[in-house]
Amino acid sequence: MTKSQINKLGKELRKILKEDKRPTIELLDKLQKYRTSFKDDLSSMFEDLRVISKQSNKSNIISFRIKRIESILSKIKRQPTMSLGNMGDLAGCRILVYNESAIKNLVKLISIRFNVKHSNDYLKESKEDGYRGYHIYIESPMNASKLIEVQIRTVRSHKWASMVEIIDILYNLKIKEGEKHEDFEHVLLLLSRIDKLTIEEKKEVIELDEKYKIHSKFNEVFIKNHRNIRDEWFYHIGKNNNFFIIEVDSNKSSSISSYCSYENAESIYFEKFKQNEQSNFVLTHIEKPNFKRVCIAYASYVLINHDYLKDWYKIAKDVINHSLITNH
């Protein structure tokens, strides 16, 4: 597809979405063709990034994905001046590291190896919502007209970002996409600096948790999904499949399936989307996948655990101890 054809497709989709209508199968087929045109560029860059990442730390978790169809459609609708051809995060790799100094080292190595068009440094100054990370937009060595986004963040920052997505899923919100919710945004901002919270701020976290039953809701969903996801995972062990479709349905039940080829996985993903737009699907490739890596990288889809459960206990304990001391 030419740049003008891509941008024309974006305009046609935006027009339909503004009228709150479902895009036609013909338009979805064109969008899918454009999405999958990034596959070779992404695979090639992933292999190079994998080598660079391992030079930094063999424990790093690296994955890639092409942006979900529903996420593309949502972005087209909420950003009326953006052309589809300029959507810089349509194809992306993510590297999860274990400290912020590793991020800076990776940024240096990547900048030497690739043509970096621009970057967003959310370490120097975190985003207003509390997010920390470093995003690099790289020109594809195979096609200079295509950009690949590389997100580098710590596992800890990634778990915070996953909590945003989990809240969206469990409470049917769209905070990640910019929808406002004062209480949840506030508790997320507080949790983004959990080690620096005052006792009054810890009390705020507990109060908001009680108001929305966050801890109990997380716990309920995680318990429900844990056995099913583990059983499904062990079914896939030994198949040498590195491509995964992870799904959360309208009942907040998660499932995982694996595939040996990207083409097969992408075909099934697209059919799933056409059959049920109400479910959340993600198709991803993870290097050397194991249960722990998948659960960290896609916690908001696996839905079996999150550090918030432990953090809540620690915060609650601090609040109780403070109350006992002050009332003694």
Cα distances (angstroms) measured from residue 261 to each of 38, 275, 283: 15, 22, 12
Rg (CA), the chain: 21
pLDDT score of 215: 98
pLDDT score of 91: 96
pLDDT score of 289: 87
- Mean pLDDT per block of 10 residues along the chain (328 residues) reads 94 95 95 96 95 91 95 94 94 96 95 95 90 96 94 96 96 93 97 95 98 98 94 79 91 93 94 82 90 93 96 96 84
pLDDT score of 328: 65
pLDDT score of 235: 81
Rounded to two decimals, what is the model's pTM? 0.93
Orientation of helix 3-18 relative to helix 69-78, angle to 10°? 80
Q: What is the CATH number of the domain that holds 158?
A: 3.30.460.10
Beta-bridged to residue 92, according to DSSP, are: 65, 149
pLDDT score of 237: 67
pLDDT score of 169: 95
Count how many domains the chain has.
1
CA angle, corner 270, sides to 64 and 42, nearest 5? 25
- Give the range of the structural domain holding residue 178, as residue numbers without chain letter: 3-326
